[in-house]
Amino acid sequence: MGRSNSSIGLRQQTETEVQVLPDQFWIALPNEDDPTRYCTITGKVRIILQEPTTIKSSNLVLEGVSKVRLQHPGRAISTGTVRTTIFHHQRKRVSPDRTYKFSAGILEWPFEFRIPANMNESSEGLAKSSVRYCLVSETCFAGWNTNHVVSETPIHLIRTLDCERSLMTNQLENADIWSNKLAYTFTILRNLVFFGGSITMRLELVPFKKNLCFLSFKMQLIEIVDTRVNVKDTSKSNRLTETEIASQCFDLIDSPDSMVPTGRVHGDGTHDEALSFNVALCVPGTLTKCRLDADSSQICIKHRLDCKLDIQNPD
């Protein structure tokens, strides 16, 4: 749910209310870098008048602001924040072109903005760094003791996948042999993870030595945040942080039912046994714990999955 913050003048303090009401507070941008594509933001500006009032003009603008915490290399304490306007749509007049006296009641004027589909998406949830967009309305009234009214309503631009790509299942696989004692295969069944969903992984462990005991398996989801004040001068004020946002440890000692024969038979008639099972790690669904992936000129957010297998070596 969006919210509207107003800064109003003396006479209109208890009489006039200005609201910016977009049709959608969440605007979906396509996941492609195509400067020829555009997205549309529509809505209306609502003005509630308690008495007949003369309005000179009512204008609306879409503004994007980036805030990045400034921290120089070698310093553990932040030295402030840098605020940069990254997007400013041309001011649009929504009221009639001339000064007009309106009767008491509710006025509603529609608006429409076209924005490029390849612009930076919103980045929210970080402590002191963000990319935010806001619809700002400024309404000017006539009269010697009046002031203008400024109303701000935040909107959120998110990057989404098209239907065809969201249904694709791209697996990621990491297979290797460790010290000629263990062959392992880690397979992520789906590399596209939705906010608040889960990451499912399939494990296949084949020991080459007897008495090799699997103790536990741990999954950690790491969030990597790179904030940049000056993109060209990367040494001036960059800040790269890694934070664990989700983890889970699976006990493998009490899992004899997961031991299945691999079908490989040795000369003495014995066969190897493999541990094969699926594990799932839940992804947080709140911005206070997990941020969406973003790749803008000021803020870059990515995620990495770390896995750790704890074994007891008979040697």
CATH number at residue 122: 2.60.40.640
Question: 194 with 75, same domain?
Answer: no
Question: 131 with 68, same domain?
Answer: yes
Question: 11 with 155, same domain?
Answer: yes
- Residue 66 in this model has a pLDDT that exceeds 50: yes
Question: 97 with 173, same domain?
Answer: no
Averaged pLDDT for residues 295-314 = 83
Contact assessment for residue 150 and residue 135, using Cβ atoms and an 8 Å cutoff: no
Q: Residue 255's pLDDT band (boundaries 50, 70, 90)?
A: low
Question: 151 with 174, same domain?
Answer: no
Domain of residue 124 covers: 5-160
Give me the pLDDT at residue 69, please: 74
Averaged pLDDT for residues 11-25 = 76
Question: 202 with 281, same domain?
Answer: yes
Can you give the pTM of this predicted structure?
0.69
Question: 112 with 152, same domain?
Answer: yes
Dihedral class, residue 5 (left if φ above 0, else alpha if ψ from -120 to 50, else beta): beta
Write a three-state SS string for 78-114: CCCEEEEEEEECCCEECCCCCCEEECCEEEEEEEEEE
* Domain boundary, last residue among 160, 187, 212: 160
- Residue 258 in this model has a pLDDT that exceeds 50: no
Mean per-residue pLDDT of the chain:
78
Q: Which residue's entry shows tokens 């980036």?
A: 66
Question: 305 with 257, same domain?
Answer: yes
**Number of domains the chain contains:** 2
Contact assessment for residue 136 and residue 152, using Cβ atoms and an 8 Å cutoff: yes
Averaged pLDDT for residues 209-235 = 76
Question: 187 with 290, same domain?
Answer: yes
Averaged pLDDT for residues 5-16 = 49
* Domain boundary, last residue among 134, 160, 186: 160
Averaged pLDDT for residues 11-38 = 77
Averaged pLDDT for residues 277-283 = 88
Contact assessment for residue 86 and residue 185, using Cβ atoms and an 8 Å cutoff: no
| SS3 of the chain: helix, strand, coil, percent, to 5 | 0, 60, 40
Question: 173 with 305, same domain?
Answer: yes
* Domain boundary, last residue among 160, 179, 207: 160
Averaged pLDDT for residues 88-93 = 84
Question: 146 with 175, same domain?
Answer: no
Beta strands 198-207 and 271-282: pairing type? antiparallel
Contact assessment for residue 60 and residue 42, using Cβ atoms and an 8 Å cutoff: no
Q: Which residue has the higher pLDDT, 91 or 11?
A: 91
Give the single-character DSSP code of 127.
S
Distance of CA 166 to the CA centre of its chain: 17
Locate 86 and state its tokens.
Answer: 């990254």
Question: 184 with 83, same domain?
Answer: no
Locate 134 and state its tokens.
Answer: 């806001």
Give me the pLDDT at residue 221, please: 93
